[in-house]
Amino acid sequence: MKSTPLKSNAALRHTAKKRLRAVPPAGEAQSLPDLRSAMGELRIYEAELEIQNEELRDSRAQIEESHKNYFRHFDLAPVGLIRLNRKGQILEANILGAQMLGEKRVLLNSVPRTFLAHVSSESHVVFQQHLQSTLASGKMETCELSLRNAVGDESFVRIQSVISRSEKDEKDFYLTLTDLTERREIEQKLALQRVLAEAAVTSKELFFGMLSHELRTPLTPLVALLEDLAAEPGRSPEDLAALALMRRNLDLETHLIDDLLDLTRVTGGKLQLHRETTDVHLCLRQAIEICQPDIDAKELQLAIELDAPRHFVDGDASRLQQIFWNLIKNAVKFTPVGGRIAIETRSAEASRLTVEFRDTGVGIDPRPLLHLFEPFFQVQHALKQRAGGLGLGLAICKAITEAHGGTLTAASAGLGKGATFCVELATVAEPSAKLLSGPAADASTPARREDLRLLLVEDHDDTRKVLARLLNRRGYKVEAARNAQEARSLSSERTFDLIISDIALPDASGCDLLKELGTKHKLRGIAMSGFGSDTDLAQSRAAGFLEHLVKPIDARALDTAIQRVVEKSRAGRHTTSTSKIMSRASG
């Protein structure tokens, strides 16, 4: 608010005369002309003084109102306000600004003090560059730094600065200080919690990975021996049935371990899909084939109607087969002997595929149906009997389906009325016949086993002995090592075509061992491990392993992997030779 300027002498006299004429003095006695003139002048001066006093009172009231506004806007501002000169000395500070510096405001406004003295040493450069930027740009500049008050307490503030000219036309800095200490502490706590949560997830993954390795490794010799025993001629039907029973239970144990690992991937957001154009009908037939012995054992009727005209999706074939396998297994488990299971596909929309699994089993009550896809949830059926398993299959199936952009739903009319599960996925165009047929089969003969020299590296004694014996029986020349040191010694004494190594050796990593022996002796490798996460597979590929087999491993699967690696190596040599020939021809 501006004060009214005092009137000039001429204007003041004119106003005074006008006022006196309007209010003549009462009872004025007649006198001499000079006396009358003098008295008139006195009255004019008196009127002038009265007018000036009124104007001074108005100006004073306006100044007081201006001071109040200044106090409200500057002193009581909810942020710290500080004015600095070009040297960085504090010229003025409001109440909060003085409090943030831990100084008495009277001293700050009277005794020059440098603002830099209140800036933490690690923030000196930041503040000096901030003032330089403000001076150079002529615009508001912002920085965040640590302040130290008079008693040594630190706070984290945001400073915004502008340039303003003083009454002497000198450039000053006007600073606003916003305390961010509480916000920063919250951010640091959140960051710490995030680090701890990530560490907990990592620890859980490491634990489950190690648990998987420790559980899988002892299963390998059992699986290999069972396969070997079942292949011996002259076995009675009773013996073969007993061996098949043991193998089924070992497979069940393996699937439980897989479910635990898949759960850690799902909860950690690390479920990876290897997408390609996939035939859902083919995945379904393969899943049905795996489950057929269980279906036959319970004498279930199986109706299959794969009628969907569009049945190709952009998906991970092995993961889709895992979904279908779990849903069929569930239907078999909860359907009584002689019951019925129906599997059908249809396309209600051109771009959507529905796969439906129906059974005439025990059904599901409406309340448990709401929690069916939660991890570790199991429906308690009649007589409170447990269904077996960990209650992870459906939760994992739903996560895999949603990772494909699809949906998995369940429905049941109630107990004793069966259940229906529907998987819905987006379809893609069917690939050409050429892509479907794949590369032409290699006409070359399989590698002769008696010509292949294998270095088997495995620290688990039973696994090493059983696999070495079974591979030797198949015609391979096998040398076995318990650790990396023994493998190095054997490779320096003998020539090998292939190394088959566990990843978690007691004295080195199998990946490091392959890198070393691959460089020295041009060895190719097959990894076998109880560690089977996507990260583990990527690490083994990066180390140069051409195959990664997850335990438990049977001798047939290992034999097949060996033949694949030999064929890959032959193809690689053939490609190299061809490129050399082409190079010479072009030269």
The Cα 130–Cα 47 span in angstroms is 59
Contacts (Cβ under 8 Å, ≥6 apart) of 114:
87, 88, 89, 90
Residue 552 phi, psi dihedral angles, 5° rounding:
-75, 145
**pLDDT above 80: residue 4:** no
The answer to whether 447 touches 567, Cβ cutoff 8 Å, is yes
Report the C-alpha gap between 368 and 99 in whole angstroms.
Answer: 61
| 366 and 488 assigned to the same domain | no
Please, what is the Cα angle at 520 between 515 and 524, to 5 degrees? Answer: 55
DSSP 8-state secondary structure symbol assigned to residue 504: B
DSSP helix/strand/coil, 559? helix
Q: How far is CA 9 from the centre of its chain?
A: 82
**Position 401 in a domain:** yes
Residue 543 lies in a domain: yes
Domain-terminating residue out of 402, 431, 460: 431
Residue 241 domain-assigned (yes or no) = no
Quick one: 354 and 397 in the same domain? Answer: yes
Is 523 within a domain? yes
Based on the fold, state whether residues 118 and 163 are members of the same structural domain.
yes
My answer on whether 370 and 459 are in the same domain is no
**Residues 61 and 84 grouped into a single domain:** no
CA 363 – CA 323 distance, rounded (Å): 20
Separation CA 82–CA 117 (nearest Å): 14
Please check whether residue 308 lies inside any domain of the structure. Answer: yes
Residue 544 has pLDDT above 80, yes or no: yes
pLDDT (0 to 100) of residue 574:
42
The total domain count for the chain is 4
> HSE of 482 in the Cβ direction (CA atoms, 13 Å)?
3
Q: What is the CATH number of the domain that holds 479?
A: 3.40.50.2300
Instruction: Tell whether 372 is covered by a domain.
Output: yes
Per-residue model confidence (pLDDT) at position 49: 83
In a domain, 196, yes or no: no
Asked which of 99-108, 235-244, 354-363, 437-446 is least confident by mean pLDDT, the reply is: 437-446
Query: What span, in angstroms and rounded, lies between the C-alpha atoms of 494 and 78?
Result: 82
Tokens of 543: 């180390």
- Asked if residue 189 is part of any domain, the answer here is no
Separation CA 98–CA 175 (nearest Å): 12
So what's the pLDDT on residue 17?
Answer: 66
Give me the pLDDT at residue 441, please.
38
Among the listed ranges 39-48, 136-145, 228-237, 536-545, which one has the minimum average pLDDT value? 39-48
Pair 385, 501 in one domain: no
Tell me how far apart the alpha carbons of residues 456 and 499 are, in angstroms, rounded to a whole number. 6
Residue 283 pLDDT class (50, 70, 90 cuts): very high
91 and 68 housed in the same domain:
no
* Bond preceding residue 552 cis, omega within 30 of 0: yes
| pLDDT value at residue 19 | 64
93 and 57, same structural domain? Answer: no
Is 291:406 a contact under the CB 8 Å cutoff?
Answer: no
Beta bridge partners of 59: none
Give tens-digit pLDDT for 384-429: 444 555 677 888 899 899 999 999 999 998 888 899 999 999 999 9
Average pLDDT, stretch 478-496? 92
| Cβ burial, residue 2 (10 Å; 0-12/13-18/19+) | exposed
Question: Helix, strand, or coil here: 345?
Answer: strand
Q: How many CB atoms lie within 10 A of CB 94?
A: 24
Are residues 38 and 93 located together in one domain of the fold? no
Do 283 and 427 belong together in one domain?
yes
Last residue in a domain, options 431, 458, 485: 431
pLDDT in tens, 60-77: 877 777 766 666 667 777
**Considering the entire predicted model, what is its pTM?**
0.53
Q: Which two tokens stand for residue 135?
A: 């001076």
> In this structure, are residues 57 and 1 in contact, taking their beta carbons and an 8 Å threshold?
no
Domain-terminating residue out of 126, 144, 179: 179
Is the link from the previous residue into 237 a cis peptide, with omega within 30 of 0? no
Shared domain check, 86 and 129? yes
Amino acid of residue 469: R
Q: CA 524: distance to chain centroid?
A: 35
**Looking at the predicted structure, is the pLDDT value of residue 583 above 50?**
no
- % of the chain beyond a pLDDT of 90: 32
Q: In which domain, by residue range, is 368 found?
A: 276-431
What does the angle CA 307 – CA 311 – CA 314 come to, to the nearest 5 degrees? 165
* CATH assignment of the domain containing 153: 3.30.450.20
26/119 same-domain check: no
**Which pLDDT score, from 0 to 100, does residue 389 have?**
57
The mean predicted confidence, pLDDT, of the chain is: 81
First to last CA, the chain: 93
Cβ–Cβ under 8 Å, residues 121 and 146: no
